Amino acid sequence: MVATPVQRNVESASARYAASFDKGHLALPPSKKYLVLTCMDARIDPAQAFGIELGDAHVIRNAGASAVDALRSVIISQQLLGTEEIVLVKHTGCGMLTFKNADAYQIVRERLGEAAHAELQERKLDFLPFPELEKAVADDVDFLKQSRLVPDSIAISGWVYEVETGQTRRVV
Ligand SMILES: [Zn+2]
């Protein structure tokens, strides 16, 4: 099998990691009973930046740290695996600040063609971009607090990670 550079990197990293791995005893439910919802941005290292040890917490990632997009995983985390707190972290320089739904639809049309564009319309896909960072954090925290799928007992905080400084500051 021919391996791409990315695939070769997985193989070599795996060999190094497994050679000294000693965490095979960890339980399935997160030991510190919380979940972190953050963006998929390549510049964010949740474990290092937010102090998460292996086995501590669920880390849910998607484009923009969208609570709407993450709802399925949030419910599984809380109802099936016992987490009781949410730390939601968006970040400066997020790609989601740079476009609107219409722009994304147009890009898909240009790059992938009419059939792909039609599928987006059929699916009514919302890319969930946001124009204002701190407002988006507050709105997503509100969404989770209002949802009947998230119990009132769940502690929810909203934060901004600064890709320029490595700092994480609380918004709500
Ligand atoms: Zn982002």
CA 30 from chain centre, in angstroms, equals 17
Q: Name the architecture of domain 23-97+129-170.
A: 3-Layer(aba) Sandwich (3.40)
Q: Is 117 annotated as a binding residue?
A: no
Q: How far is the CA of 67 from the centre of ligand 1 (A)?
A: 13
CB-count burial class (<10 Å; 0-12, 13-18, 19+) for 87: buried
Angle CA 4–6–10, to nearest 5: 115
**Overall pTM surpassing 0.85 (yes/no):** yes
Looking at the chain, the whole-number percentage of residues with pLDDT higher than 70 is 100
Q: Are strands 155-161 and 85-91 parallel, antiparallel or unpaired?
A: parallel
> Contact, 100 vs 112, CB < 8 A?
no
Ligand 1 centre distance from Cα of residue 69 (Å): 13
- Residue 1: pLDDT band (50, 70, 90) is confident
